[in-house]
Amino acid sequence: MKTQEAPLVNKVAQSGLITLELEDFHPGEEWVEIDMADFLFKGLILKEKEFRQKVSEEDWDRYADKNVHVLCSTDAIVPPWAYMLISKNLLEAGAVHAFGSKEEAIDKTMARNLEQNLNPGEFEDKRILVKG
């Protein structure tokens, strides 16, 4: 006697799970580094006039449409306005940027991408599978 097999049922599809692909929010693998030490006197001292001169001479267009992480490889004390000046130039060039190591920059950029592109309300009272 031949037994009749039940048709295959995709229970995952029927479960109502929403899959959230974290890879969709990843900023990409290629990152360019800007070291603030390159703009400092002997890599350690920020002399405002020289700093501003070096920043103005930099070709910021080469960072257009790129991922850029900005850090200072030395133990120099860099005031916040210096980072803001670099940030302003990168924004005008159209670069995606963050401060810190490449790994920190990827984390920060991913978090920003999630904040900007996800509506938490659409996941309310739903079952979510986070992949990544």
- 51-98 residue pLDDT tens: 999 999 999 999 998 999 999 999 999 999 999 999 999 999 999 899
The mean per-residue pLDDT over the stretch 9-25 comes to: 76
Domain regions of the chain by residue span: 24-119
Burial 12-38 (b: 16+ CB within 10 A, else e): eeeeeeeeeeeeebebeeebeebebbe
Say how far apart CA 41 and CA 26 lie, in whole Å. 35
Residue 25, pLDDT score: 83
pLDDT band (50, 70, 90) for residue 120? confident
